[in-house]
Structures are given as C-alpha cells and as structure tokens.
Chains A and B, each alone.
Chain A
C-alpha cells in the first residue's frame, strides 16, 4: 500500500463511486484511498476497503462511507446510511453514525445504519458505544444493540431476524482479506463533479467541513444557483457569494 494511502479498495461492485475532493470517480479493485475519501454505493452494491494494519471494512448500499484517516491517530469511518461489516485490528477504528459512535480495537462487528437509527451486532471482541446523551456502553460478543436518535440503547442476546435478513448474505460469513491477492494498482476514473443535490446530504451531515470542501463548486453556475436558493443554511458561502453583506460599514461620523 502507498505510504500516503489510507486504505485500498479490494472489491467493488457496479454503481459504487468514489468522491474525492469535489469529483466523483469510477473505481476498480486496487485503487488507493486517501484521507477524506467518500465511497457511495447504490442498493445492494458492495465495496470492500482494507486499511493499514489489517482492518477490513465491507460496505453495502444504499449509503455512503466516509473515510478519515489522519497520519496519526485512529481512522474514522462515518456511515450516514448502509450496512457495514468491520474487522477491526489494533490500533483500532472508530465508526460514526447519527445515533451513536462505535470504538473498536480487536473486534468484528456488523452495523446497519438508517438515517435516525443504528443497529450493531458484535461477532467477536467488544465494542464501545458512545452517544452524547447516554453513558458509554460496551457491547460484548454475541450482543445486538439498537438505538435511534429518540430512544436509548436497547440490547438483545441475539440479532433479530429483521436485522439478519436485511444484511447482505456475505456479511454472515467471515470477511476474507483480498489485498494480498491484488496484483496491480488501479487509478480512479473521473465521472463527474458533484452536483448540489449530491452534496446536500454531506452539507447536512457536517456543514463546516463540507462547506470548505465544496467551495470550489461555487464556480459552477448551476451549483452556485442551487446553493444561493438556500444560502441561509450556508453562512460561509454567503460570505463568498455576498461579500457586500459582510463589509464593515463605516462608523458614523
């Protein structure tokens, strides 16, 4: 793996795209991922990412997976929606969802995330579940925990059938490490620049970060027009689009 790479794409199904900067790319196994890359997957499409130190993440749509892998510290995977099977190895990985965050070191977990609710099943090891409104909670091997934005953590000794049936069949088997079998690297192929509609969920998820990231798209008239229609939501862009509003008025004489 490239020393600057945060991870390696080792399996891709049709429809999966990589959002790097403001551009969406088509990808193939062997593409190196960077800090800040986002993978989007349509319904039933799967993509597998293998991080440094042996951590494996297999993600299934519909949804997206945002990878933050600073050069120091543990990697963070943000999942606004979708299903994720994660084999975590030391030094560990953190998963962010709307309902709660998950901290893992040596564990195998399966998550299913819908906008307002997250379910997690711990296959092996244990996971620390953290939420600002509840005390941290450890989920042990074999435990299933569910939480939505409006409800507290609820645990069960077995995953419910609805949860199991909603998962891709392959999530019920052990995740194989595919990186050792990859013979060549691949380069992402640009598809198109992100549209305002595609950017909207990310702006809603983390406005300051994505306002900064997508600022370059304001040069596109269509994007700019769409953003301008909802400019009240984006104060940073409002400053760029309407600097006159923020100019200091001369003090009254």
Chain B
C-alpha cells in the first residue's frame, strides 16, 4: 500500500472519530443549553406571575375593598390578576401559557385538566416538593412545563374558600356557592403551571449544531486536502524522484541523474547523503576498473 494511502486512511480515521466526538459533545451541549434557556424563561415567567400576585394582594386589593362590598371584583384576586396578565402576553406569544390549576376552583376556568391534576397530586403526595419540571406534547409541538404548589398558608384565603356561608356575598353572587369551598389550612389546592414552547429554542440549537458540524466538516476537508498537497509536494514527489535515481544507479546507470536538493530538510540531507554515496560508488568502481 502506498504511503499516501496509509497516511490518508489514518487521517480519515482520526477525522471521522474527531467529527463524531465533536458532534456528540456539541449536540448535547447545545440541547442542554436550549433546555436550560427554556427553563430560565419558565422561571422568569413564574417570578413575573408571583410578582403580579404579590402586587395585587398588597396594593390593588386594599384600594378596592370598599367596591367589593357592592360588587365582587375578580381583579382583586391574585390568581385572576396573574392569569389576566399572561392572557395579555399571550396575544403576542400564544404558545406561552400560565395557569393556576386548581382541583376545586371558584372560577371554573382554573379547573385542572387531567395532566395538571397529576402534577398537583405529585405535590399533594410530597409536601416537601417545591417544583416539578417536565415536558409534554402539545398541538404546537413539545413544551416544557414548570410547576409550583399553591398551598393555603394564610387564614385570609379561608375567608372566601372555607364555607359558602362565611364567604363574601358579592363573591357568591358572581360565582355561586357550588365551587371553591372546603379548602383547609396548609392544604395544597393546586399548582401554578407555566408552559413554555420548546420548538423554537430546540430548532435554534439544531440549526447551530448543523452550522457547527458543516463548518467542522469543511475545516476537516480543507486540512485533508492541504495535508495531501503538502505530503505530495514535500515528501512523496521528492522521495519518488530520489527512489527513481537510486533505482537506476543500483542497476549501474550512473547517468540517471544527480542527487540534488536545495532544501535542508531531512529529505534534502538524505538526498545529499545519497549523492555522496553515489560519488563514492563511482569512485570505487573507477578504482576497481583501474
């Protein structure tokens, strides 16, 4: 097997191994980064929801307390405020969702669906759990959900949700007395669930991966071609020329050519050594002939 074939086989092996290793590592890193970015988005949205809840309960509700005696204003309910804020946001980002999924809600739009009820039951089954992250398929593609438990920690919550007879009459007037009662202190009654689409970040990561791998392949190809050109011009061609002359000399053709090289590299040194060896051989043959 020719030297260039051996060289190329080894080089190709190294390139393929390097390409696959780099591909695997970069794919994992990009996918992990994309997922982390989605999770960060979800956490940011969750914090925004919590801020809205807090603002509503500490600043908005006290201002509307008097109006609540005449008419129930859902705008004073932290869960309603957070949900409405996200409803506004969804006008521009329809794939993002926020829900205060509740097993027994006052406002029926908050009633938990089957998969949301499963998440809530995870929290109910493990009170120490503070967050659940998962992925699910939606009609618009895969989505990551981040959920946190809604636990009754303030007796103020029970003013509206313990029994219908002690709840504000204006609230009963609006929502009726069938739902949203029987909550107990420290009970986990639902979960805040933020859902963030994964399609866009994952596609972005895939595009980045393809660009990276294409670039890597192009670099490998360029290196491969360059190394072959260098190998041919700097080694193969010179050694072939050297071998041809040496072959002729070995057959007694002393006129085959001169071992000459302008280069001072290893092949140059070898060429000069062979030139000296040929001169010595010619000298020895002359002495034998005399």
Enumerate chain A interface residues (CB-CB to B < 8 A): 121, 123, 142, 157-159, 164, 172-174
Contacts and interface: CB of A to CB of B under 8 A. Distances in A.
Contacts of A172: 66-67, 70-71
B66 A173 contact: yes
Contact of A121 (B63, B65, B67, B70): B70
Contacts of A158: 169-170, 173
Contact of A123 (B69, B71, B170): B69
B248 to A, nearest CB: 113
B172 to A, nearest CB: 9
A159 B67 CA distance: 12
Interface string B46-83: 00000000000000000101110111000000000000
Contact of B66 (A142, A157, A159, A174): A174
Contacts of B66: 123, 172-174
Interface of B: 63, 65-67, 69-71, 169-170, 173
A173 B66 CA distance: 5
B92 to A, nearest CB: 32
B174 to A, nearest CB: 10
Contacts of A123: 66, 69
**Counting chain A CB atoms within 10 Å of each CB, which of B66, B67, B70, B173 scores highest?**
B70
Contacts of A173: 63, 66-67
The 6 A-B pairs at the shortest CB distance, nearest first, are namely A172-B67, A174-B66, A164-B70, A157-B169, A158-B169, A173-B66
17 contacts: A121-B70, A123-B66, A123-B69, A142-B69, A142-B169, A157-B169, A158-B169, A158-B170, A159-B70, A164-B70, A164-B71, A172-B66, A172-B67, A172-B70, A172-B71, A173-B66, A174-B65
Given A172-B66, A173-B67, 19 more contacts: A121-B69, A121-B70, A123-B66, A123-B69, A142-B69, A142-B169, A157-B169, A158-B169, A158-B173, A159-B70, A164-B70, A164-B71, A172-B67, A172-B70, A172-B71, A173-B63, A173-B66, A174-B65, A174-B66
A187 to B, nearest CB: 34
Contacts of A159: 70
Nearest to A110: B70
A123 B173 CA distance: 17
Nearest to B71: A164
Contacts of B69: 121, 123, 142
Contacts of A174: 65-66
Contacts of B169: 142, 157-158
B85 to A, nearest CB: 23
Nearest to A167: B70
Contacts of B173: 158
Contacts of A121: 69-70
A121 B173 CA distance: 16
A121 B169 CA distance: 14
A237 to B, nearest CB: 46
A172 B68 CA distance: 8
A67 to B, nearest CB: 25
Nearest to B170: A158
Contacts of B67: 172-173
A132 to B, nearest CB: 30
B256 to A, nearest CB: 113
A158 B70 CA distance: 7
A123 B170 CA distance: 13
Nearest to B73: A172
Contacts of B71: 164, 172
Contacts of A142: 69, 169
A173 B63 CA distance: 8
B29 to A, nearest CB: 57
A131 B65 CA distance: 32
Contacts of B70: 121, 159, 164, 172
B263 to A, nearest CB: 97
Nearest to B64: A173
A172 to B, nearest CB: 4
A164 B71 CA distance: 8
A60 B70 CA distance: 18
Nearest to B173: A158
A235 to B, nearest CB: 46
A123 to B, nearest CB: 5
